[in-house]
Structure 1
Amino acid sequence: MTAAPSAESFEEARRRHLIQATIETLGDVGFRAASLSEIARRAKVSTGLFAHYFGDKDGLLEATLRFMAGSLTRATAEGLRAAGTRRERLFAVSDAALSDEQFESRTSAVWLAFWGQLTHSERYKRVQRIYQRRMTANLRHGLKGMVAADCVPAYAAMIAAMIDGLWLRSHIGDGAVGSDGSSARALVRSFIDGLLAGAAADDAAEPVRPLPVSRPEAPPEPLHVVSPVTGADIARLVPARDTEIRRGVQDAKRGFAEWAGTHPAERAAILRRCAEALRRDGAALTRGESLETGRPLRNTGGPDLARAIALVERAAGLAAGLAPSRIEVAGGRECRTLHRPAGLVAAHIPWSRGLLDLCRSAAWLAQGNAVIACVDGQVGETAARLLGLFREAGLPEGALVLLPGDAQTLRRLEAQADLLGREAMRLVDGTADPETSLWATRPKSTALVLPGADPERTAARLLDTTGAWRASDFLSETIVHVHEAARADLAKTLAAQAARLRAGDPFDPATDLGPLLSERHRAFVLDLIAADCTSGARLLTGGRALTQRDGALACLSPTVLDGCAETSALVRTSTFAPVVTLVPFADTDALVARLRRGPAEGGVALFAGEADRPHAVAERLDRRLVVVNDDGVGALPCAAGEAPVHTAPRHILAPRG
């Protein structure tokens, strides 16, 4: 009973071996010289074996052609499964047909040999027709909804013809098309972009419009995303440039047309389903985010996930509240209020809090806007999985567009005239060249420690990274201004509590602080610590690399520096590290005046002992969120990074009825 599967496996392996020998022979000696004896010699078998498996030579060659076509079909199917949009489905078809493997010399020679025999063999024609029908069907499926229905067959035929034509041209050797697949893939992508852009033009324009095809850009170097937990590559991505940004804007415009026309009640229902999907699958998402970023799972899967779900649920409530309203006014008239979405909103999703920041964009979606998010590659996989959940919950394609990015991507995206809602961002020097690494952040959070503040409670809250007033759960992303009268006690207590924190494996429930992104990241932070100490700051605890047994984790001991200045490197630079910087001050009024001149987006925590003094200071700070004597109990009704409103209310006054 157990012999059949193994015998069948042997048979399949033998068939594959004979077909591979046929491909090798065809590639080396050509179609005419590829005799059964030559193939048998290379396969080290007798010629009689071919009759057993394939009947005759024609049967062998047909099986070989089916094998090659099947490999292409499987590669296409794999690309289609990974595609998140209809445009990406079109790219998946062309990329598979023009993959580097299809330009390998032996594979190319075999395809050319078979194509040369098509007019002489009905069997080969049949196999080729089946493959071409599959390609055309996949292209038509991707084009549906992107172009007018009557254009779908013609556009699919045009794309298929260009794929085959470029492949053939690449073998002429005239330099018009490169000898590898990269230039051919870029040309087909540019052609597809042109077809879709032409289809998106105004229907009232001339019936014959020029095809807006631009010369494809040379792709930038791919970014290799490495897990700070395992040290292994977890992703390879190419950061978006002008071509990809234009595609993103086009897709977002299409998505906006559908999403903005969705009734607010339906938008609310979709967002509620998004929140439910996040509640259902959030544990897997947050484990992935911890693997990508090294942030402790107790943070990503705890307060971050809870806050992300709350943001999406709050967005659903916002959408429901934007339904058209009607009130009666004097004179037998009524006023109807409609909320029109503003358009396309740009968002930046840094690696330091990817899942939470992406869910923050739900507020813009609730208002009917489309969001184009520049996503740091370090959290690219998490962002893509979250988008997949939202799409399954009913979010239309194009309502949320993700662009894998680096610093150049962010700059180019912010320069787009069609976008609004650019947040206050700053690009800062990081662990790599800021031209190729997305090292951008929101303004740091601020903590003010006034005279009379309880040192134990204040230190505990400053080291608790889950505060809603924080821009990030990295200790370095909060600037702690401490009054001279409270400085000594706080510094001593803070150093003692920080020394008890545990840095290490982010999946260990006992871990308080995860690793830095890489050894290079850690070396960068250690250099800044040394520079600030040379400039007069005093190292109270930490400031050293921690050795891990497996060598994969680049951990840094929890660090506290006292006596920093507002111009200190660690204060000015976002390092995303377990480093607390204490900046002493003596004049509260002067400090408040300086803080008022800064951006209003960042949250502020205010610690003091007096009952009335901190409230007066809080009112003068004029920040979006100020938390006085944060005790860490209960959820706040708002958060420091809450999205601003982008809608345009429209009021219509008319007779009742």
Structure 2
Amino acid sequence: MTGTAEHPHPHPHLSPRHHTRLFVGGVFTEPAESAAPGRSAESAGPARSGGGDVIEVVSPHSETVIGRVPHASPADVDRAVTAARTAFDSGVWAGLPLDERIAVVTRIKDGLAARHEELAALISAQNGSPYSWSVLAQALGAVMVWDSAIAVARAFPHEEARTGVLGPLLVRREPVGVVAAVVPWNVPQFTAAAKLAPALLAGCSVILKPAPETPLDAYVLAEVAAGAGLPEGVLSVLPAGAGTAEYLVGHPGVDKVSFTGSVAAGKRVMEVAARHLSRVTLELGGKSAAIVLPDADLDAAVAGIVPSAWMNNGQACVAQTRVLAPRSHYDEIADRLAAAAAALVTGDPLDPATQVGPLVTRRQRDRSLDYIALGVHEGAKVLAGGGRPAAPDTGWYVEPTLLGDVDNGMRVAREEIFGPVVCLLPYDDEEQAVRIADDSDYGLSGSVWTGDLERGLAVARRVRTGTYCVNTFSLDMYGPFGGCKDSGMGREFGPEGYAEYLEQKTIHLPAGTVPADHVTPS
């Protein structure tokens, strides 16, 4: 039976948060009194409304209100885009030397680092992430994203010389303009950092749209940014639901949209942004496969797969939610994974002992339970978990669940559940394992576990995903991250992710004007 964290530890940084103002263009200001014509605040889609234009943040553990923030309307979007457009076009930020932008962004990074425990507690309280995981992955992970982006920007070739067919060329990379950054609720600070850090360093102005489930940590980010020295207009933070998000990404004043979320929402973002040919980066879902080869060290493989499969309560796009086991070792792997799942401690996300917390909403809990029932109906066997834990009495909890005897044609193997439900699939040989791993609409992540590194690399080169791991599981901020197929388009992190916020410009010069080794910073 799944363990339970019985003694919650109230966190000193956590108290109810109620905000009445929005962060528009770098200033905390009252929300617009009315929405744009034909688009009310209600139609803009507040997910948790306590009065039409207010988002109520509900704890997934206690099911009580722990905060309130204004629900941004299309009129607020208009104000934020106008401020961002004015700031960008004036050059007040983009026109600064790179070193000066780096200094401001470094102050943001340091301010977030100083408040990382507060951020971790707020995120855990909003979306149920275990606090120990939130400290490392939600808060300090975000700081690492800011830090790596600074290093990438400092070394990036913003202008370089080339020898053309008709004469010398200068190739410049210039900021793309006004960016709409739409982030999800599962890793709100991490994904915000993945968008804000490179965009700001490149010289862009940004409107950040946090998810309505997790707006409270975004106010900490706004407070830190307000004290870091960003010029007026460069950054806005607008919590809102899907309607306001659609109005933002389709706004004619937005040059680029960076979105992280579901496949369905990503397709809609691309469709709406196309009206004005806004550039789009999409980081969407995943159904990643961990392949255990027959020669793998099973102790090491299970120890590596368990945290990557049930991470963040299964609410992670990169989670290894399909485990492929050779038939020769299937029973042993099934027993080991089932025992490990049953030993995971479920409970209050703010309890340091908790390893699996509640799902973010009742809707997400019910979705996971429905998928478990569907899997059993399709012929899968529940090897661990399978329902709601006996305790706590409140909260949107699902036991860490392992479904065995899963066929890759089953819906539980093909659709992203986004909960603590992992599928175990048997395979006959390595060729079949690669085919099963690739037989997915998604292509975001994956891993292979083997006693032969070269064999693992051969598998890694064959599976079609944006990220892959051999005998480990990680996500490094210096390498490009993103997906293929339905997992998205474009990349975040590293120089490739930074380049997503830059436009390319070629300047043609007369012969002999520029030496071949000429390179200048931004």
Q: Report TM bin, short chain.
A: 0.7 to 0.9
- In the alignment, the residues of structure 1 paired with residue 373 and residue 38 of structure 2 have an alpha-carbon distance, to the nearest angstrom, of 48
Distance 1:84 1:407 in 2: 19
Residues 359 and 398 of structure 2 are in contact (CA less than 8 Å); yes or no, is this contact kept in structure 1? yes
The residue that corresponds to 2:213 in the other structure is 378
- 1:476-515 alignment to 2 at 5 Å? 478-515=321-358
| 1:242 Cα deviation from its structure 2 partner | 4.4
Pairing 1:459–2:302 present? yes
Q: Check conservation: 1:450, 1:486, Cα contact below 8 A.
A: no
| 1:269–1:316 CA contact under 8 A, matched in 2 | no
Pairwise mapping of residues 54-453 of structure 1 onto structure 2 (< 5 A)? 82-85=21-24, 91=30, 185-186=33-34, 214=37, 217=40, 219-220=42-43, 222=49, 223-236=55-68, 240=72, 242-257=74-89, 258-322=92-156, 337-361=171-195, 362-416=197-251, 418-423=254-259, 425-427=261-263, 441-453=284-296
Q: CA deviation at 1:335?
A: 6.3
Matches within 5 A, 1:531-546: 531-546=374-389
2:320 and 2:368 map into 1 onto residues whose CA distance is 13
Larger helix proportion of the pair: 1
Q: CA deviation at 1:615?
A: 0.8
Instruction: Give the 3 Å change call, closer, same or farther, for CA 574–468 of structure 1 in structure 2.
Output: closer
Query: Is the contact made by 1:344 and 1:369 (CA closer than 8 Å) also made in structure 2?
Result: yes
User: Would the alpha carbon gap of residues 638 and 327 (structure 1) be closer, same or farther in structure 2, given more than 3 Å must change?
Assistant: closer
Q: Render the CA deviation track for 1:127-147: whole Å, top value 9, x for unaligned.
A: xxxxxxxxxxxxxxxxxxxxx
What whole-Å deviation, never above 9, does each CA across 1:242-270 have from its counterpart, x for those lacking one?
44444443333234333322222112111
Counterpart amino acid of 2:84? A
Does structure 2 retain, via aligned residues, the 8 Å contact 1:340–1:649? Answer: yes
Question: What letter matches 2:230 in structure 1?
Answer: L
SS of the aligned residue for 1:404 comes to: coil
C-alpha distance 237-480 of structure 1, shift in aligned 2 (>3 A): farther
Shift of 1:353: 0.8
CA distance in 1 between partners of 2:505 and 2:313 (Å): 35
CA shift for structure 1 position 441? 4.9
Structure 1, residues 592-648: CA drift from partner, whole Å, max 9, x if none?
46766867862222212333221112112253322101177x977437453432213
Give the direction of change, closer, same or farther, for the CA distance of 1:234–1:648 in structure 2 (3 Å limit).
same
Relative to total residues, which structure has the larger strand share, 1 or 2? 2
Return the alpha-carbon distance in structure 2 between the equivalents of residues 283 and 487 of structure 1: 41
Say if 2:318 and 2:444, in contact at 8 Å, map to a contact too: no
Counterpart CA distance in 2 for 1:411 and 1:585 is 43
Residues 1:598 and 1:378: Cα distance change in structure 2 (over 3 Å) = same
Give the Cα–Cα distance (whole angstroms) in 2 for the partners of residues 421 and 83 of structure 1.
Answer: 21
Q: Who is 1:648 aligned against?
A: 503
Amino acid at match of 1:426: S
How far is 1:356 from its partner? 0.9
Given residue 193 of structure 2, which amino acid in structure 1 is its aligned partner? Answer: C
Query: Which segments of 5 or more consecutive residues in structure 2 lack a partner in the other structure?
Result: 1-17, 50-54, 266-282, 483-491, 516-522
Q: 2:451 is matched with which residue?
A: 609
SS in 1 for 2:238: strand
> Distance in 2 between the 1:441 and 1:615 partners?
25
Q: CA deviation at 1:424?
A: 7.1
Paired with 2:352 and 2:336, the residues of 1 have a C-alpha distance of 25
Change (3 A) 1:337 1:640: closer
* Alpha-carbon distance, 1:493 to partner: 0.8
Matched residue pairs, number? 449
Determine if contact 2:129/2:312 at 8 Å carries over to the other structure. no
Q: Distance in 1 between matches of 2:162 and 2:25?
A: 46
Give the secondary structure class of the aligned counterpart of 1:351. Answer: coil
Secondary structure of the residue aligned to 2:239 is: strand
Task: Return the alpha-carbon distance in structure 2 between the equivalents of residues 369 and 236 of structure 1.
Answer: 30
Return closer, same or farther for 1:411/1:535 CA change in 2, 3 Å cut-off: farther
**Counterpart residue identity of residue 63, structure 2:** G
TM-score normalised according to structure 2 size: 0.74
Match of 1:136 in 2: none
Partners of 1:470 and 1:546 in 2: how far apart? 13
Aligned partners of 2:327 and 2:144: how far apart in 1? 39
Residue in 2 that maps onto 1:638: 479
Give the letter for the 1:251 counterpart: A
Q: How big is the shift at 1:377?
A: 1.2
Question: Where do 5+ consecutive residues of structure 1 fail to align?
Answer: 1-77, 96-184, 191-213, 430-439
> Counterpart amino acid of 2:23?
G
In the aligned structure 2, how far is the partner of 1:639 from the partner of 1:561?
32
Amino acid in structure 2 at the alignment position of 1:233: V
In the alignment, the residues of structure 2 paired with residue 448 and residue 441 of structure 1 have an alpha-carbon distance, to the nearest angstrom, of 22
**Whole-Å Cα distance in 2 between the matches of residues 488 and 584 of structure 1?**
10
Aligned-partner Cα distance in 1 for 2:446–2:318: 14
**Based on CA coordinates, which of the two structures has the bigger radius of gyration?**
1
Letter in 2 for 1:249: V
Give secondary structure in 2 for the equivalent of 1:277. helix
The 8 Å contact of residues 316 and 366 in structure 1, kept in 2 or not, is answered as yes
State the Cα distance separating 1:379 from its structure 2 match: 1.2
Matched residue, 1:620 = 462
Shift of 1:504: 0.5
* Closer, same or farther: CA 89–296 of 1 in aligned 2, 3 Å: closer
Secondary structure (helix, strand or coil) at the match of 1:377 reads coil
* TM-score normalised per structure 1: 0.60
The structure-2 alpha-carbon separation of the partners of 1:328 and 1:371, relative to structure 1 and needing over 3 Å to count, comes to: closer
After superposition, where does 1:21-40 map in structure 2 within 5 Å?
none
Change in CA separation of 1:243 and 1:553 when aligned onto 2, cut-off 3 Å: same
The answer to whether the 8 Å contact 1:322/1:339 transfers is no
What is aligned with 2:367? 524
Alignment partners' CA distance in 1, 2:163 and 2:317: 53
Q: CA deviation at 1:564?
A: 2.3
| 3-state SS of 2:213 partner | helix
What is the aligned partner in structure 2 of residue 99 from structure 1?
none
**Structure showing greater relative contact order (alpha-carbon pairs closer than 8 Å, 6 or more residues apart):** 2
Specify the SS of the correspondent of 2:23. coil
Q: 1:542 corresponds to which letter in structure 2?
A: G
CA 1:218/1:227 → structure 2, altered by over 3 Å: closer, same or farther? closer
Task: Say if 1:469 and 1:640, in contact at 8 Å, map to a contact too.
Answer: no
Decide whether aligned partners of structure 1 residues 339 and 514 sit closer, same or farther in structure 2, where only a CA change above 3 A counts.
same
Question: More deviation in 475-484 or 358-367?
Answer: 475-484
Specify the code of the residue in structure 2 equivalent to 1:531: L
By how many angstroms is 1:533 displaced?
0.7
Shift in alpha-carbon separation, 1:218–1:457, aligned structure 2, 3 A: closer
**Per-residue CA distance 1:552-588 (angstroms, 9 max, x = gap):** 3333222111122334343444443222112334464
